[in-house]
Amino acid sequence: MAADRGQRWRMWGIPALVFLIAFLHRAAPGVIAKDLMQAFGMTGTELGLLSAMYFYSYAGFMVPGGVLIDSLGPRRVITAGGAVMGLGSLAMGLAASPLVLFTGRLLVGLGAAVTFTGALKIAASWFPPTQFGMMSALTATVGVLGALIGNAPLAALAAHLSWRGALVIIGAVTIAGALLCLALVRDQPAAARHRAGRGPSFREVMTGTLAVVRNRYTWPPFLCFFFLYAAMGNFFLWSVPFLRDVYGLGSTQAALYASLPSMALLVSAPLTGYLSDRVLHRRKLPYTILATGQFVVWLGFLVTLGTLPLSLVCLLFLLLGVVGGGFVLTWPLGAEVNPPRLAGIAVAVTNLGGFVGAALTQGPVGAVLDARWTGALLDGARVYPVAAYRGAFAVCALLVLVGAGISFLLEETRGQNVYQRLRPSRSRREAAPRMSPGGS
């Protein structure tokens, strides 16, 4: 059994590593914002759109990527996704024009779209069903670790090698991770491969997706994640420039302080999942409390913007991570209000909300900064005043407020599938295909 346990962890660990790298890519534009502005003369709006390219392609390919994972298997799809991510990073590092830079960022998001679902599919195949909730939270925590690495360590690497050298190295590491997945990962244990029947057809998957989308109980968790992650995504994009412009920090030091929410999330995310599953036996209650707490922290940050000493700003950053741990409940909240056989599709659709939110808001938030820019430049990069950041972060606070308000519309599932209770007559007629957890 010890060897079997070790094999399970290896099978999950390599796709999780590729997912970690995907999160590192996600955080990169905020860390090297100054360098990109200098190299390409970018405005805040353009930088926001560059960052959003990741989320546009990620959101657009998430559900089709899930279909490929179910039909071709996660090993081959994660390998292809990692290779596309790596090529996109190489293109960004070598870009001589904004067109190549934006195209590379689009490729990074396209490849990253399959990494989370693929890692969950591997976990569902190799681990007992009773451990799937824990593996979901653990996989999400690995992503947070990737965001952490994508702050101060990436800033230090860029300072040492230049931003171009850093992106080229990250691209090469990403491709190496993809090749490792191809060589060592297997979709499921050998015994399960012998027993496995055919996977769901494309028509069956699309039928299941439509059933999830038509279920009105899917939309509150989708919209909560839309608004809450939109705010957090903008925070990660603009926190380093904020600390550099308002507090005069260097990029590496600013990235270190900006990573404080991710540090807190490393603890708060799995702890939230544990408390929800084992102690409170609730989903909606902790989600609503933490979402409301996020708004309180954002409001405190906004009211005191530019007046607090750096130590108290760091405390607020940590608190953002503490109350941000509720995001791990988004996926079970979406899955538990849909038919159990559609759990994988429900997770994918719910997860889509956050990336659509980030994609649609990062450009406009950058435009808010540009509208209040006073013309100051430092080494060719725009320097924004406190008033500009106040306007941008006010948008973020408003997004969190809306998300917290929608959280009151969530269904309390108590950690159990409640689809039959919510839709008893329709659930008896449900003829949707069987989908494995994490399959889309």
pLDDT per residue as tens digits for the range 11-31: 999 999 999 999 999 889 989
Please check whether residue 388 is in contact with residue 365, taking contact to mean a CB–CB distance below 8 angstroms: no
Calpha distance 320→264 (Å, rounded):
8
Q: Which residue has the higher pLDDT, 207 or 387?
A: 387
pLDDT of residue 439: 39
Establish if 439 belongs to a structural domain. no
Establish if 44 belongs to a structural domain. yes
pLDDT of residue 130: 66
**What total of structural domains would you count in the chain?**
1
pLDDT confidence of 429, banded at 50, 70, 90? very low
Calpha distance 429→49 (Å, rounded):
45
pLDDT of residue 63: 79
pLDDT of residue 70: 75
CA 150 to chain centre: 13
pLDDT of residue 240: 93
The token pair at 209 is 């997706």
Establish if 432 belongs to a structural domain. no
Which amino acid is located at 244 in the chain?
R
Q: What is the DSSP letter of 31?
A: H
Percent of the chain with pLDDT over 90: 61
- Give the DSSP letter string of 355-405: HHHHHHHHHHHHHHHHHT--S-EETTEE---HHHHHHHHHHHHHHHHHHHH
Tell me which residue range forms the domain holding 20.
Answer: 2-188+198-423
Establish if 306 belongs to a structural domain. yes
Task: State the alpha helices, DSSP H only, in 259-309.
Answer: 260-274, 284-303
Which amino acid is located at 17 in the chain?
L
Establish if 165 belongs to a structural domain. yes
pLDDT of residue 198: 59
Establish if 281 belongs to a structural domain. yes
pLDDT per residue as tens digits for the range 98-109: 999 999 999 999
Calpha distance 126→188 (Å, rounded):
6
Please check whether residue 52 is in contact with residue 80, taking contact to mean a CB–CB distance below 8 angstroms: no
pLDDT per residue as tens digits for the range 274-291: 888 888 889 999 999 999
Residue with tokens 């009211």: 303
Q: What is the mean pLDDT of the chain?
A: 89
First to last CA, the chain: 29
Q: Which residue has the higher pLDDT, 395 or 61?
A: 395
- Give the DSSP letter string of 176-228: HHHHHHHHH--SS-HHHHHH--PPPPHHHHHHHHHHHHH-GGGHHHHHHHHHH
pLDDT per residue as tens digits for the range 337-364: 998 878 777 888 898 999 999 999 999 9
pLDDT per residue as tens digits for the range 180-232: 999 999 988 876 655 555 556 667 777 888 899 999 999 999 999 999 999 99
Establish if 193 belongs to a structural domain. no
The token pair at 360 is 């649609």
pLDDT per residue as tens digits for the range 283-332: 999 999 999 999 999 999 999 999 999 999 999 999 999 999 998 899 88
Establish if 214 belongs to a structural domain. yes
Helices (H) and strands (E) in the chain, counts: 21, 2
pTM of this prediction exceeds 0.75: yes
Q: What is the CATH number of the domain that holds 324?
A: 1.20.1250.20
Residue 364, judged by CB atoms within 10 A of its CB (0-12, 13-18, 19+), counts as middle
Give the number of residues written for the chain.
440
Please check whether residue 140 is in contact with residue 327, taking contact to mean a CB–CB distance below 8 angstroms: yes
Residue 1 neighbours by CB under 8 Å, 6+ apart = none
What is the Cα Rg of the chain in Å? 21
Calpha distance 77→66 (Å, rounded):
9
